[in-house]
Structure 1
Amino acid sequence: MSNNGREYENFVAALHQALFDSEKWTELKNIKIEQSKKINDNFGIAREFDLYWEYEFAGITYKTVIECKDYASKVSIEKIDALLGKIRDIPDLKPIFATKTGYQSGAKTKALNNKVELLIVREQNDSDWMLEDGTPLIKQVNIDIHAISAASITSFNTKMDGKWIKENTNLDTSSGNLQLSMQNDQTVIEDVGRNDKYSLKELEERLGQGTDTNFGERSLSLKFDEAYLHCDDLKLKLKEVDLTYYIPKPIHQPMHIDFSKELVGVIEYLGKSSKTAIFKDHVVKGWSVKT
């Protein structure tokens, strides 16, 4: 057998194995395809078939063989005759023929009259991306992703009302500094004077988003008539906040999706005028094809 013939057998086997693995029936999921399978006929003569598998369902064993021919021209009736000759003395075999290019009319008639399933097993072509009525299917998608992030506070310095803190809390303010652990989503400014309340995370969102020409580091001072900082289960009277924040530049990321690269191969069932597409991660069945 030529290398091309072996490669085509491998290709046909891989598509059918993917098809079996996608089935919901446990019996079909467990099918293992054998290559160059030798089966003894009723006279003890070993007959070799390119592909073979079997499975049991409801107590009955179903056996299938596929002859794979990687021909440049359409398969002739003589090749169908050869397959029928090989299986004549082997009972209970389901014969299938697979090729890339198609079949001559005589071969189709002979196969139909002898219950030989004819397949075209091939790589994709343009017809696989078009419905029977000519409607095109989506083959490629181009996406331009724009990622726009909110501002990020990099420095947050506060001026507290020391007298209020001394009168209303047990904190030691003798050093003039308070060490607080602040998380953006849990540290809240309650601006009573403006009837407003927001977390530092919400403040970052309010500070705006950058553009391609307007981004970078900024500073801001907030003064309050009556406001409180809620942090670490504490409530502290706040007089002023000086903060530094950074507005990031939007990120532009083009993305190209080529679905054709995910399509491994196609199986056309001539007897049913339908085809099945085998993708890398899923199977699409039942497409109609023109005969």
Structure 2
Amino acid sequence: MKNTGLPYETLTMQIFNAFLNQNEVENIKLKHNITLQGKTTTHQIDIYWEFELANDIKYSTIIQAKDQKSKINKGQMLAFSAVLNDLPNQPRGVFVTRTGYQKGAKEVADSNGIQLYTLAEPEESFWDGSIKTVSFHMTAYVPGMKDFKPIADKEWIEQECEKKGIPSDQYISYSGNTENIFLADKHFKRLCSLADLINNYHSLFQEEFVEKEVREMFKEETFLEANFDNFKYVKLKGLVITLTRKAYKNDFSVDLTDLVGYILKNLSRDKEHIFDKGYNLKKKENE
């Protein structure tokens, strides 16, 4: 497939857009593949960037992106320099390529104030001495409850039934999810939900189990609030809860190479900028 250069130009624009967003300038324009009128002729421009600093003076930069296997030669740099000289207001020049520059190209760039960059995916040598993959073994315990049996204070129930004129041997039923059933103190102030209580009991155990019965007798007056048929509260002596816990095991790996997608090197200033595969600036070196 023929290399049109457009994918590399698009990549360069994405990277510079992310890079420029880190700087305190107001981006006026950042455009790809446009035509500008020069003093003598028109010029196709890979990337055009116009910005404004605090002094309200506008600056423009022309970015040339070349995706080729060989290093940029002197003739290519002279051609780019000629474009810059033909454009009005003398825009700054930036040249970006994958493979670097020949000596003659560097000399032309230095003489004309052109900033030189390389932009490429990291080479395999980049990972020498580094960890590329991290593997994890995770076990997640899912807590649950199979049964909940409140131990009611029968004497209290008999007294309350007598007051209400209802049989004391009636079955006391309740319903609701564990988050809507509460324990309360003698002033009927809520202490915790049944869900909270279950979680507290589960925190006492570390291992996996099918079922585990927990029995607790209350030292202080405790009531169960659950909107019973004839009572909003029932006094408890204690409770019995049958807990369940299932273990779910999972092995997975994290590919750390996703954190380093592209490396932008400013050869003119000996600076390096690392981006992830989403074009996010991750690290600046030599600054």
What TM-score, normalized by structure 2, do the two folds share?
0.76
Alignment of 1:115 with 2:83, yes or no, is: no
Equivalent in the alignment of 2:92: 94
Percentage identity across paired residues of the two chains: 22
Counterpart selection for 1:55 from 51, 57, 60:
51
CA distance in 1, matches of 2:108, 2:25: 34
Distance 2:219 2:82 in 1: 100
Q: Distance in 2 between matches of 1:122 and 1:26?
A: 25
Report the counterpart of residue 188 of structure 2 in structure 1.
none
Q: Aligned ranges for residues 1-291 of structure 1 at < 5 Å?
A: 2-20=2-20, 22-23=21-22, 25=24, 27-28=26-27, 31-35=29-33, 37-43=34-40, 45-57=41-53, 58-91=55-88, 92-126=90-124, 128-129=126-127, 139-150=132-143, 152-168=144-160, 170=163, 174=167, 176-181=170-175, 184=178, 187-188=182-183, 200=194, 201-203=196-198, 205-206=200-201, 208-209=204-205, 211=207, 214-219=208-213, 228-232=222-226, 236-238=234-236, 241-248=239-246, 250-279=247-276, 280=278, 282-288=280-286
Partner of 1:193: none
Report the CA distance between 1:138 and its aligned residue. Answer: 5.4
Contact 1:148–1:209 (CA under 8 A) maintained in structure 2: no
Per-residue deviation, residues 131-180 of structure 1 (Å, max 9, x unmatched): xxxxx555433232232344x22222334333322325755652612233
SS at match of 1:88: helix
Amino acid at match of 2:135: N
Secondary structure of residue in 2 paired with 1:32 = strand
User: How many residue pairs end up in the alignment?
Assistant: 269
| Structure 2 counterpart of 1:153, one-letter code | M
TM-score by length of 1: 0.76
Q: Residue 42 of structure 1 aligns to which amino acid in structure 2?
A: K
Partner SS for 1:284: strand
CA spacing shift, 1:173–1:215, aligned 2, 3 Å: farther
| Structure 2: gaps (5+ residues) | 186-190
Pick closer, same or farther for the CA change 1:189–1:253 going to 2, 3 Å. Answer: farther
C-alpha separation between the residues in 2 aligned to 1:141 and 1:99? 32
CA contact (8 A) 1:210 1:247 kept: no
